[in-house]
């Protein structure tokens, strides 16, 4: 799951992470600051990571002391290509909770489709499928997320589509659907490709959608935080540590109390050098959830 230094980036995946935002005033309009009751569900990125875990409204420019934040969709420097990757999801005690598999490839209409599935030992399922284009900039076109089982506090299914301009969300027995405007910098499920394509010394600002099941907007900031060493056998490598911050603005009442005062940060590690490949992700995958870790692994062969 590494990326060549020319045109393509192998082995990226996106985690969606449940966090809150702001709900739309009317169907088909940008999100406002009007709060609604219910539990917030975020689908980021995997970019997919979590919302669920990397956007309805104007672009947010964030001033940084050490790097400038772009208020435009991130330009494609390393295009995504066919990928088949294997992942582990570990809990706070380093125990393996789930095994993951990423399958990514081209579909019709010059689009890429990426599906990330985690199957938990307790029978739970975390399943995210995103479709995006990468002509000059990354543009999220459709999103579908399913989350259910004892590892999660709620059963969730969320779908939205840029072509139809519609969404549908179900949280336990509550459902909501309607029209929605998707901003150009929406990065639910494609956070890692965006991080791999950030120009060194810059940051990006974007949005993610979250659902209660009503849609809300979450402002995001994506930037490099530092570098860390990793080992492959005795050979050392270096990975850039990226911070993805979520910002809640204007939330009050039940929504604010459910979310907490400050949403958790999510960190991603991407290899440096000629290829940019995913190494690790750390952060919660659902609201007020424990900090889990996602990292690479290989398939297990049956004993003969």
Return the sign of the alpha-carbon dihedral for residues 249, 255, 260, 266.
negative
Do 144 and 132 contact (CB within 8 A), yes or no?
no
Q: Which residues contact 42 (CB under 8 A, 6 or more apart)?
A: 16, 17, 18, 19, 20, 21, 50, 51, 52, 53, 208, 210, 218, 246, 287
Q: What pTM was computed for the model?
A: 0.76
Distance CA 270, CA 74 (A): 17
pLDDT in tens, 155-169: 999 999 999 999 999
Paired with 15 in beta bridges are: 46
Distance CA 75, CA 4 (A): 17
Span 26-39, average pLDDT = 37
Which H or E run contains 148?
Answer: strand 139-148
pLDDT in tens, 89-107: 999 999 999 999 999 999 9
182 phi and psi, to 5 degrees?
A: -100, 120
pLDDT of res. 106: 97
Of all residues in the chain, what percent carry a pLDDT higher than 70?
Answer: 71
Distance CA 144, CA 137 (A): 21
Any idea which of 8-12, 286-290, 293-297 has the lowest mean pLDDT? 8-12
Do 123 and 49 contact (CB within 8 A), yes or no?
no
Paired with 144 in beta bridges are: 129, 159
Which H or E run contains 224?
Answer: strand 215-232
């Amino acid at each position: 799951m590494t990326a060549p230094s020319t045109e393509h980036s192998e082995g990226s995946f996106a985690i969606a992470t449940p966090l809150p935002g702001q709900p739309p005033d009317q169907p088909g309009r940008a999100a406002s600051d009007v709060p609604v009751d219910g539990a917030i569900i975020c689908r980021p990125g995997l970019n997919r990571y979590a919302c669920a875990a990397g956007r309805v409204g104007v672009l947010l420019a964030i001033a940084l002391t050490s790097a400038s934040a772009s208020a435009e969709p991130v330009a494609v420097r390393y295009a995504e290509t066919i990928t088949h990757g294997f992942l582990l999801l570990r809990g706070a005690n380093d125990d393996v909770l789930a095994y993951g598999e990423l399958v990514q490839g081209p579909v019709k209409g010059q689009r890429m489709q990426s599906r990330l599935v985690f199957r938990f030992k307790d029978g739970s399922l975390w399943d995210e499928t995103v479709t995006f284009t990468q002509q000059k900039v990354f543009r999220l076109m459709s999103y579908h997320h399913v989350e259910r089982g004892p590892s999660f506090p709620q059963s969730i299914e969320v779908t939205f589509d840029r072509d139809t301009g519609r969404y549908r969300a179900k949280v336990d027995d509550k459902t909501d659907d309607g029209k929605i405007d998707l901003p150009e910098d929406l990065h639910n499920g494609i956070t890692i490709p965006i991080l791999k394509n950030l120009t060194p010394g810059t940051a990006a600002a974007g949005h993610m959608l979250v659902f209660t099941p009503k849609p809300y907007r979450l402002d995001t900031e994506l930037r490099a935080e530092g570098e860390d060493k990793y080992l492959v056998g005795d050979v050392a490598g270096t990975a850039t540590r990226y911070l993805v911050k979520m910002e809640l603005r204007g939330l009050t009442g039940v929504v604010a109390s459910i979310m907490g005062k400050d949403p958790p940060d999510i960190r991603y590690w991407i290899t440096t050098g000629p290829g940019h490949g995913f190494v690790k992700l750390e952060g919660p995958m659902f609201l007020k959830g424990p900090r889990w870790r996602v990292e690479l692994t290989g398939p297990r062969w049956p004993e003969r």
